[in-house]
Structure formats: C-alpha cells, structure tokens
Structure 1
Amino acid sequence: MKLTKINKSYGDKRVLKDVSLDFPAGKITVMVGPSGSGKSTILRSLNLLVTPESGKFDFNNHHIDFSNGVSNKEKLAVRRETGMVFQDYNLFPHKTVLGNVIEGPTQVLKMTSKEAQQRAKELLTKVGMGDYSDAYPNELSGGQAQRVAIARALAMKPQYVLLDEPTSALDPELELSVLKVLLQLAKEKQSMVIVTHNMAFAKQVANKIIFVEDGEIIYDGVPEEFFSSNNPNERIKNFIASMTMENLK
C-alpha cells in the first residue's frame, strides 16, 4: 500500500502537502503527531473516505491517480480489502453484537448467514467478546464496543486494518483491553495502520513510525530511532516528552 505526492485541502487550508508513504504488508505502521496534523486525513485516504485532489494511490491491483477522480466502483473495491475502525465505534445501535459483525460479510461478501455467524463467533471469542453475541451496543462499555468494532472489521477479511485513534475515548483500563487485542493481531502479522496518541503502545507494537506535522512527514522510519534519546530531531524529542509527561516538571 503506497501513497505518492498526495495533496489535500479543505477550503484555503492545505492539510496534506506532497505526502509520499508506503505501508508494508504484514507490518504495523503507526502514525503519530499533534492534533490537526493530517494523520487522520492520510488514514482515511487509504480507504477513500477522503479523496485527495492530486497524487497516486497503489494498493494491490488498484492504481488510482487522484487528479482523475475516483469512481464509486473503485472506492467499493478498495474498501472490500480494508477494514476501518473509528474512535467512536460506529456500531449499528439497532443490531445485536452478532448482527453488527455479520452485516458486512452477508451483504458485501455474500457469505451465507451460517458461514458469517460461525466466523463472527470465532472473531468475537478472539477479541474477548464471545459471551456478548446477543447484547446491543448500548449495553456495552466503550472498551467492549471497540473490541466488537475490531471484530466487525476483521470479519471482512481485510488485507489491511485501519484504526483511527481507536482508544482515545476510553479510560486507561478499558484502553488496555483494546490494546491487548491489537497487540495479538500484530503478533499474527495482520497488516495494520494505526493513528494513536499512546506512545507506550506505539513503541511496543510498531514496525514503522510516521510522525506527521502540519501536513508534512517529519519522520518515517523504525521506532528504535524515533524513540531514541539520541534522536537528533528536537521537535520529535519534545513531542515524545510532552506525550509521556516527561517534561511535566
């Protein structure tokens, strides 16, 4: 999965400036940076929820030149191969946990109900929600709802799972329950791109770190160098210190 010279503006504000990135398969790419830096816009460009004005996107057999526009057919094709997990879960409130997870496989992948339910139950067990198949979203905690959202994304058998601040709305204990699920997926070599403010998690799980600021890529490399006390980039060192409260004194 690769972006080349991506540009995106909202009105007069240019939010992405000639961004070029690749997201290796079977690896965990983590994007960090201050709020409003463009991280979520990059992530949403990967499944075409956001359409940049220019630049190219290459993913499997999809080769898109944004300056030519993107058809609905191309959008649907890319979204079949990517699973998106949002900060606010986006579960269907009128459907049970099981109903939420089987919706995509039955409607989009055309799985039989029996096959979809079997896979859904396996995935719910995997994320620690096997006993909640008949529950409704309003009966779940935030951490439980987010784990269901992850199971729902995985049910589509995506090549990449894209996660936009998946734990920022949760208290620390609930956040931990979600991070454990993501850590397990990382061990299974599930391709993921994660936007997060949790530096401890990023340090533990990332194969690659991208630091975004003001629509530009400031760092694109291995976590060891990014988190090193010898990192020559003072902006990155100050950012990490602020996020980990090292500079509180």
Structure 2
Amino acid sequence: MKLTNINKSFGNKHVLKNTTLDFPAGKTTVMVGPSGSGKSTILRSLNLLVMPESGQYDFGNHHLDFSHKVSSKDKLAIRQETGMVFQDYNLFPNKTVLGNIIEGPTQVLKQPKQEAIKVARELLAKVGLTEYGEAYPHELSGGQAQRVAIARALAMRPKYILLDEPTSALDPELELSVLKVLLQLADERQSMVIVTHNMVFAKRVADKIIFVEDGEILYDGSPTSFFAPNNPNQRIKNFIASMTMENLK
C-alpha cells in the first residue's frame, strides 16, 4: 500500500503537501502528530473516504491517479479490501451485535448468512465478547462497542485495517481492552494503519512510525529511533514529552 505525491486541500488549507508514504503488508504502521496535522486525512485517503486532488495510490493490483476521476468500481474494490474503524464506532443502532458484524459479509461479499454468523461468533470470541451476539449497541460500553467495530471490520477479511483514533473516546480501563485486541492482531501480522495519540501504545505496537505535522512528514521509520532519547529532532522529542507528560513539572 503506497501513496505517492498526494495533495489534498480543504478550502484554502493545503492539508497534504506532496505526501509520499508506504504502508508495509503484515506490519503495523502508526501515525502520530498534533491534532489537525493531516493524519486522519492520510488514513481516509487510503479508504477513499477522502479524495486527494493529485497523486497516485498503489494497493495490490490497484493503481489510482487522483488527477483523474476515480470510478465507483475502483472505490468499491478498495473498500472491500480495507476495513475502517472510527473513534465513534459507527455501529447500526437498530441491529444486534451479530447483525452488525454479518451486514458487510452478507450484503457486500454475498456470503451465506449461516456462514457469516459462524465467522461472526468466532470473531466475537476473538475480541472477548462471546456472550454479546444478541445485544444491541446501546447496551454496550464504549470499549465493547469498539471491539465489535473491530470484529465487524475483520469479518470483511480485509487486507488492511485502518483505525482512526480508535480509543480516544474511551476512559483508560476501557481503552486497555481495545488495545489488547489490537496488540493481538499485530502479533498475528494483520496489516494495520493506526492513528493514535497514545504514545505508550504506539511504542509497543508499531513496526513503523510516521510523524505528521502541518501536512508534512517529519519522520518515517522505526519506533526505536523515534522514541530514542538521542533522537536529533527536537520537535519530535518535545512532542513525545508533551504526550507522555514527561515535561510536567
């Protein structure tokens, strides 16, 4: 999965500036940076929820040139191979947990309903929610709802899972339950791209760190070098200190 020379503006604000990034398969890439830096715009470009004005996107056998109109067929193909998880879950309130998870496989992948239910129950066990198949979203805690959202994404058998601040709306205890699931997926070599402000989690889960600020990539490399005390980039050191409260006196 690779973006090359991507540009995106919202009104007069140039959000992404000739951005070039690759996201290795079988790895977890974590994007960090201050709010409004362009992280979520990059992530949503990978799922085509945001359409850049120019640049190229290569993903498996797909090649898109954003200077030309992207067809509905290409959008559908990309979205079938990428699972998106948002910070506010986006579960269907009128469907049970099982109903939420089987919606995509039965409607988009045309999977037989009983097969989809079997897979959904296996995924609920995977995320620690075996007993919640018949529950409705309003009966779940935030952490439970987010784990259902992850199970729903996995049910589509995506090549990549894209997660946009998946725990930012949760209190620390509920956040931990979700992070444990993501760590398990990372250990299983599920390809993931995660936007997060949690530096402890980023350090633990990332195979690769990308630091974004003002639409530009200030770091693209290993977490070891990124978090090293002798990192020569003072801006990154200041950011990490602020996010971990190391500079709170």
TM-score normalised to structure 2 length: 1.00
The alignment partner of 2:83 has SS state of strand
Structure 1 distance, partners of 2:12, 2:71, is 25
Corresponding letter in the other structure for 1:199: M
Q: Which residue of 2 aligns with 1:41?
A: 41
Q: Paired residue for 1:99?
A: 99
Which segment drifts farther, 33-42 or 68-77?
68-77
For residues 42 and 75 of structure 2, the distance between their equivalents in structure 1, rounded to whole angstroms, comes to 15
SS at match of 1:63: strand
Which position in structure 1 is the counterpart of 2:246? 246
Aligned to 2:132: 132
SS of equivalent to 2:90:
coil
2:222 aligned partner: 222
Mind listing any 5+ residue stretches in structure 2 that lack a counterpart? none
- Number of equivalenced pairs: 249
- The 1-side partners of 2:10 and 2:130 are apart by 42
Q: Deviations over 1:53-93 (max 9, x none)?
A: 00000000110000012111110000000000000000000
Q: Which amino acid aligns with 1:22?
A: D
What SS does structure 2 have at the residue aligned with 1:58? strand
For residue 110 of structure 1, what is the aligned residue in structure 2? Answer: 110
Aligned to 1:185: 185
Q: What amino acid does structure 2 have at the position aligned with 1:151?
A: A
Which residue matches 1:152?
A: 152
Rounded to whole Å, the distance in 2 between the matches of 1:51 and 1:129 is: 35
| DSSP-derived class of the 1:73 partner | helix
Q: Does 1:80 align with 2:77?
A: no
Q: Partner residue of 2:197? A: 197
Would you say 1:207 and 2:207 are equivalent positions? Answer: yes
Give SS of 2:135's match.
Answer: coil
Aligned partners of 2:31, 2:10: CA distance in 1, in Å?
Answer: 21
Q: Residues of 2 paired with 1:180 and 1:148: CA distance?
A: 14
Partner of 1:11: 11
* Residue 37 (structure 1) shift: 0.1
**Distance in 1, Cα, partners of 2:237 & 2:16:** 23
Number of the residue aligned with 1:53: 53
Identical amino acids, percent of aligned pairs: 80
The residue aligned with 2:22 is: 22
| TM-score normalised to structure 1 length | 1.00
Question: What secondary structure is seen at the aligned counterpart in 1 of 2:67?
Answer: helix
- Partners of 2:56 and 2:130 in 1: how far apart? 41
1:215, 1:131 → 2: CA distance?
Answer: 43
Q: Does residue 1:171 correspond to 2:175, yes or no? A: no
| Unaligned 5+ runs, structure 1 | none
Q: Which amino acid aligns with 2:21?
A: L
Aligned letter for 1:225?
S
